Chains A and B, each alone.
Chain A
Amino acid sequence: MQLSCSTLRQFFFLRPPRLPSSSPPLFLTPRRRLPSVVRAMASVGSDDRRLSRIASTIRVIHDFPKPGIKFQDITTLLLDPEAFRHTIDMFVERYKDKKISVVAGVEARGFIFGPPISLAIGAKFVPLRKPKKLPGEVIAEEYSLEYGTGIMEMHVGAVHPGERALVIDDLVATGGTLAAAIRLLERVGAEVVECACVIELPELKGRERLNGKPVFVLIEAD
């Protein structure tokens, strides 16, 4: 079956590379080995190389913050300037022509990825913070934690009705935080165009909590 470049690109973004818990990244799908698609894949080769580099820099820490959890640590990605550059570039390429006026980053790791994206696409950056960190008037949204609830705040007046927003965080797990971020932005009349994360933990089904809002991720992890 001959796959067009655009079909493969779509496939690639809908089924991002998987990152198994301890070994180097495995992101080759069975289709990649079929000779008929080798030529088409060449056009997305640079995405391949970039994603491979990005995935290889993420470190998994076992039993953090508690036993049984495999923590996806992006700090090692930030220690590789080329990988960090590729990460930002891939988001910027996706969003630069989408008339995004707001990039909202979730405290704290969303503060690392959001601003470089907002600077590159000419959008505002809006920090979404834990309680009592933002000075001045805020609106607040509750979200579920494993035990209890958390609260996320946004400044009143930061975002106006009709603005087109992106939500950025390093990782989507259960989707609770992203869902709260979407609610905050929609309460002030913004349109959340998409959520973007470096990593998704698909087994936690975070996408299902987002009321159909699309999520774009670079890497899937167990």
Chain B
Amino acid sequence: MACGNGKEQEQDPRIDGIAASIRVVPDFPKKGIMFQDITTLLLNPKAFKNTVDLFVERYLGKDITVVAGIEARGFIFGPPIALAIGAKFIPLRKPRKLPGEVISEKYDLEYGSDCLEMHVGAVQPGDRALVVDDLIATGGTLCAAINLLERAGAEVVECACVIELPELKGREKLNGKPLYILIKSS
């Protein structure tokens, strides 16, 4: 089910087409999970363009200096946004992928934990940052991303995702940071 960000707003007419281009794959990566597959959105140039445009329209003129994208699907949506708004793009990566000096933030998985890394020096104090990923579920990854950016002195203005799974209450993990999403999915 697609909807915009607030019940009081009219939904942008592009959202339906974007939602329709997303494929749900049952039982991936394991039984019981309904996986929201954005690769089919990427196969639809108009839907992909509309997705990027919706984010760009929101963030142009907001003095965003950094777009941080979460590996790997945040690397698909983040750079086009960064290019359009004239911001730096910063990849936030799994451990040992970034060369050179990094800072690291741990986050919980369903079983165990993982780490997100960011290059030292990529972000300066005072940078205004966006965090981009394809989807927010539990919010663990986004929370780690926010922490990395704030540790480096940036102000995280907003998190932006194509899809939210609201039942998993990821928003609550963001410490009050605003979240902008195009599509809510049950």
Contacts and interface: CB of A to CB of B under 8 A. Distances in A.
Interface in A55-89: 59, 61, 64-65, 71, 73, 75, 78-81, 84-85, 88
A124 B41 CA distance: 9
Interface residues of A, number: 38
Interface in A114-171: 115-116, 118-119, 122-127, 129, 132-136, 155, 158
Contacts of B90: 75, 78-79
A65 to B, nearest CB: 7
A107 interface: yes
B79 A127 contact: no
A112 interface: yes
B37 A136 contact: yes
A219 B67 CA distance: 25
Given A78-B88, A136-B23, A136-B37, A124 B79 contact: no
Contacts of B49: 119
B105 interface: no
Given A59-B100, A78-B79, A119 B72 contact: no
B54 interface: no
B99 A79 contact: no
B75 interface: yes
A122 B45 contact: yes
A91 interface: no
Interface in B12-33: 23, 25, 28-29
A64 B102 CA distance: 13
Interface size class of B (residues with CB under 8 A): 35 or more
A126 B91 contact: no
Contact of B48 (A79, A109, A112, A125): A125
Contact of B72 (A71, A125, A126, A133): A133
Interface in B60-107: 71-73, 75-77, 79-80, 82-83, 86-91, 93, 96-100
Nearest to A105: B76
Contact of B89 (A78, A125, A127): A78
Given A65-B96, A125-B48, A108 B75 contact: yes
A71 B35 CA distance: 35
Contacts of A27: none
Contacts of B100: 59, 61, 64, 73
A79 B79 contact: no
A75 B119 CA distance: 9
Q: Which 7 A-B pairs have the closest CB atoms?
A: A135-B25, A61-B99, A111-B75, A135-B28, A64-B99, A78-B89, A125-B42
